[in-house]
């Protein structure tokens, strides 16, 4: 029995050590970004914490928001000072705790929340979530993800499972790895000069909907939306919810936009301003305003940022 236990213990220790070795190798480019000052999350949080009480507008949400809203364009039209705190795969729970942390250092007039259906998924991108948590108080981890963090400490490779799988596919296909860490970011916004071509556009899937997305229970989704609304009201902050455009060809492939219907009904019922730029913009968006199937390039971001600036100006006049 003793020999068996020793073998089992040796096996688990080997797995744990192997996990750390794989992560150490995989995270080498990330460590380099910390060293040379190009890590986007580090720079975002430094801006929030060092430039205290300087931002009038905070933008939260997923990478769709970080690609769509350029603070330089927003500021030039609205005369406000904005900062884009959208991050990759940002979950609604993550957004709530991020905003609580941001309010320790900033007193914004507006919170712009990018409503993206996968931000309410019943699963989490722990790579992005834990990397954000490094710059926050431990409240989110203790309240929501304590078990997952414990497992991450034992087997850190787990949070990279999907990424490592994609790396393997890219290597087999001969695709070059894309890295956004060392691209030029502007007040939290990532500009892109890539433009879709006809081959990309033909491969676009339908948009996310309630039928093709594994979501949290509606009660949980609305619980966290309500929490965000409450914290805004407590701090006299105007909450504005946005939905950035999709490529028009994706909209055409989608029989019913259930996400739009849900967001519109929920936000109207709760008296939260909601602007879906797929339907409420006078701007003409095309498939060539995007760098892929749902992230805007610099051409599209210029249009979406102008739309958002006009919306903000309408509230400045109140």
Residue-wise pLDDT tens digits, 115-147: 999 999 999 999 999 999 999 999 999 999 999
* For residue 181, pLDDT beyond 80: no
Q: Are 100 and 88 within 8 A, CB to CB? A: no
DSSP state, residue 289:
G
Q: Are 210 and 259 within 8 A, CB to CB? A: yes
Instruction: Please give the pLDDT value at position 183.
Output: 56
DSSP state, residue 274:
E
- Nearest-CA neighbor of 130 among 217, 219, 27, 229? 27
Residue-wise pLDDT tens digits, 85-113: 999 999 999 999 999 999 999 999 999 99
Is residue 7 very low, low, confident or very high in pLDDT (cuts 50, 70, 90)?
confident
Higher pLDDT among residues 280 and 2, named by residue = 280
Higher pLDDT among residues 66 and 1, named by residue = 66
pLDDT above 70: percentage of residues in the chain: 97
Q: What is the mean pLDDT of residues 11-16?
A: 88
Q: Are 228 and 239 within 8 A, CB to CB? A: yes
Domain ranges of the chain: 40-316
Token pair of 30 as six digits: 């990330």
* For residue 184, pLDDT beyond 60: yes
Q: Could you tell me which CATH number the domain at 40-316 has?
A: 3.40.50.1110
Q: Are 222 and 173 within 8 A, CB to CB? A: no
- Distance between CA atoms of 36 and 172, rounded to whole angstroms? 30
For the chain, strand residue ranges (E) read 57-60, 82-84, 110-114, 238-243, 274-276
- Nearest-CA neighbor of 240 among 276, 264, 273? 273
What are the counts of helices (DSSP H) followed by strands (DSSP E) for the chain?
15, 5
* For residue 318, pLDDT beyond 70: no
Is residue 9 very low, low, confident or very high in pLDDT (cuts 50, 70, 90)?
confident
SS3 189: strand
Instruction: Please give the pLDDT value at position 11.
Output: 86
Is residue 180 very low, low, confident or very high in pLDDT (cuts 50, 70, 90)?
very low
In the predicted model, what is the mean pLDDT of the chain?
93
Token pair of 114 as six digits: 């990018």
Alpha-carbon Rg for the chain in angstroms: 21
Q: What is the mean pLDDT of residues 30-40?
A: 89
- Cα within 13 Å of Cα(53), Cβ side: 0
pLDDT above 90: percentage of residues in the chain: 81
Q: Are 250 and 201 within 8 A, CB to CB? A: no
Residue 263 parent element (H or E): helix 258-269
- Nearest-CA neighbor of 59 among 258, 253, 311, 257? 311
Given the DSSP bridges, would you call strands 82-84 and 274-276 parallel, antiparallel or unpaired? Answer: unpaired
């Amino acid at each position: 029995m003793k020999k068996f236990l020793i073998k089992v213990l040796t096996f688990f220790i080997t797995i744990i050590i192997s996990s750390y070795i794989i992560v150490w190798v995989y995270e080498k480019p990330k460590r380099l970004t910390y060293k040379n000052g190009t890590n986007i999350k580090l720079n975002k949080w430094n801006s929030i914490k060092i430039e205290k009480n300087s931002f009038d507008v905070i933008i939260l949400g997923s990478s769709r928001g970080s690609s769509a809203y350029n603070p330089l364009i927003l500021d030039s039209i609205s005369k406000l000072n904005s900062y884009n705190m959208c991050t990759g795969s940002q979950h609604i729970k993550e957004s709530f705790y991020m905003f609580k942390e941001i309010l320790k250092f900033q007193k914004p007039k507006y919170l712009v929340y990018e409503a993206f259906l996968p931000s309410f998924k019943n699963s989490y991108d722990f790579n992005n979530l834990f990397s954000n948590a490094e710059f926050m108080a431990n409240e989110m981890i203790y309240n929501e993800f304590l078990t997952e963090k414990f497992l991450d400490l034992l087997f850190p490779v787990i949070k990279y499972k999907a990424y490592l799988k994609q790396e393997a596919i890219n290597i087999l296909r001969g695709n070059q790895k894309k890295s956004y860490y060392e691209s030029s970011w502007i007040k939290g916004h990532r500009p892109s000069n890539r433009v879709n071509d006809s081959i990309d556009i033909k491969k676009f899937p339908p948009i996310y909907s309630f039928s093709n997305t594994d979501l949290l229970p509606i009660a949980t989704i609305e619980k966290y939306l309500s929490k965000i609304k409450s914290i805004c009201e407590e701090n006299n902050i105007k909450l504005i919810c946005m939905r950035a455009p999709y490529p028009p060809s994706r909209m055409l492939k989608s029989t019913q936009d259930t996400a739009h219907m849900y967001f519109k009904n929920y936000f109207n019922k709760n008296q939260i301003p909601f602007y879906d730029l797929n339907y409420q913009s006078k701007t003409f968006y095309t498939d060539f305003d995007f760098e892929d199937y749902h992230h805007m390039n610099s051409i599209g971001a210029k249009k979406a940022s102008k739309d958002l600036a006009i919306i903000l100006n309408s509230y400045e006049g109140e």
